[in-house]
Chains A and B, each alone.
Chain A
Amino acid sequence: MDGSVSSVPRSLPSDAGRPAEAVLQISDLHMAFGDLEVLKGIDLSVAEQELVFIIGPSGSGKSTLLRCCNRLEEPNKGTIIVDGEEITAPKANLNKLRQRIGMVFQSFNLYPHLTAQANVTLALRKVAGKSRIEAREIALAALDRVGLSDKSDSYPNELSGGQQQRVAIARSLALQPRVMLFDEPTSALDPELVGDVLNVMQDMKEGGMTMLVVSHEMRFAMNAADQVVFMDRGVIVEQGTPDRIFKHPEHQRTRDFLGKVAH
């Protein structure tokens, strides 16, 4: 946001003073696997075009939090509002709402029996109801955006990990989601392939995508994140700008964690 025309954010509702409307609003979210409480009251809001970056030790509930956002996991309590609609409502139209929430997985999860292009067109055809030709055009544009227009006819096993992950991003992107969730998108990649994926993500951020990212790529967070959230044992310990969290963490737990990952 450059603020050159006016200082009023464009999505500000009539009651001035509220922050820009949240695309994703998580309130008092609780989730347990049996007796194991994994999320213990999470409040988190991701504003339009914002990139919120989540860090935290293994098992702290980061993946579970993301998976609750499109209800791959069922929360026990709390609400999640996506683009003005409560996805946690019992009668929420999940298949419709999920189109507005892209998800990128650590293990890519491309469909191995389909070409890159067919991976992207499947939901466009079957869910978004696009014609074959429309879907193809959208898919090619999406693949182009992740730098893979020349790989549209390749099968996943003919692509490198980094290329597969970019196809997976294109698959989500093609549905024009309002927010994209990334769960350790580069953790399964060889180091030399990480950069390509991060570049695509940076590019999306600059293009105005709203993003919630779980990752260990602190340098990327420094450059691209608006907010960094530190989670531990199912709660948000602290949250702030990358500069503040990385350079001036308030909590001992945050300092301990950052000290560990630095080495």
Chain B
Amino acid sequence: MQALIDQFFNVQIMADAWPTVWRGLMMTVLLCIAVIPLGLLGGLLVAMANTAPWRWLRWTVVVYVDIFRAIPPLVLLIFIYAGLPFAGIRLSPFAAVSIAFLLNNSAYYGEIYRAGIESIGKGQMEAARSTGLSGLQAMTYVILPQAVRNVLPDLLSNTIEVVKLTSLASVVALPELLYSADMARSITYNASPIVMAALIYLAILWPVVRFLSRLERRMGA
């Protein structure tokens, strides 16, 4: 029993690893601040392109969404970070992660927004257009506010996934939470830093998950 505690919940080791893990946490937060708004915005553009009057654009978007929903994000990330240099394009780990997440998340968020837009009856668009609002104005002021409200749980749920997926950045040596904890593990020969990282993810995401459940229940899906 004591051995177990020493290996996984070693307070001394955790204290020693804390500065490293803390820096990792800050990097994860920074990554989220970059990647979540980018994905939300990219997804919005994808969803709006989906409703555009031009067939070629809608078609492009369908292909885009299909491709990036099918490619595993890890493969995409390694391709961008380690594959593109063969074409002379060299990106920092942070830039590579941001781009990979933008491409991937825009597809997922885009599908969520699209479901939201489709949940709004066409009478709303018609009423708005009949008063002279342009298609874009009607989208902005009438459709999207209602659509986003309808899919708020899905947006939040996807955002939780995104936060978890930022740990993928460790494979391109971006020193985020998981990478830093794993580094501390390899230095200390002890699993406690990894446990600490897991507890930190839990501490951040558990309240959000709780909130999400309540939101879902309240919206009575």
Contacts and interface: CB of A to CB of B under 8 A. Distances in A.
A113 B146 CA distance: 7
A171 B126 CA distance: 13
Interface stretch (B34-42, B45-53, B128-136): B128-136
A171 B131 contact: yes
A101 B126 CA distance: 13
B83 interface: no
A132 to B, nearest CB: 14
B149 interface: yes
Interface in A70-109: 70, 72, 95-96, 98-99, 101-103, 105, 107, 109
A171 B141 CA distance: 15
A102 B131 CA distance: 7
B123 A175 contact: no
Nearest to A97: B132
A95 B133 contact: yes
B124 interface: yes
A153 B139 CA distance: 23
Given A109-B123, A109-B124, A113-B146, A72 B133 contact: no
Given A72-B126, A105-B123, A109-B124, A123 B131 contact: yes
Given A72-B126, A105-B126, A109-B124, A127 B133 contact: yes
Contacts of A186: none
Interface residues of A, number: 25
A100 to B, nearest CB: 9
B132 A96 contact: yes
A126 B123 contact: no
A122 interface: yes
A159 to B, nearest CB: 16
A155 interface: no
A105 B137 CA distance: 20
Contact of B124 (A96, A103, A111, A172): A111
B117 to A, nearest CB: 14
Contacts of A122: 128, 131, 133, 141-142
A59 interface: no
Contacts of A113: 145-146, 149
A126 B124 contact: no
Q: Which bracket fits the contact residues of B?
A: 10 to 19
Given A105-B123, A109-B124, A126 B130 contact: no
A9 interface: no
Contacts of B123: 105, 107, 109
A122 B141 CA distance: 8
Contacts of B131: 98-99, 122-123, 127, 171-172, 175
A127 B127 contact: no
Contacts of B141: 122, 126
A75 to B, nearest CB: 16
Interface of A: 70, 72, 95-96, 98-99, 101-103, 105, 107, 109-113, 122-123, 126-128, 168, 171-172, 175
27 contacts: A70-B130, A95-B132, A95-B134, A98-B129, A98-B131, A98-B132, A102-B130, A103-B127, A105-B123, A105-B126, A109-B126, A109-B127, A110-B127, A111-B127, A111-B128, A111-B142, A112-B146, A113-B146, A122-B128, A122-B131, A122-B141, A123-B131, A127-B133, A127-B137, A171-B127, A172-B131, A175-B131
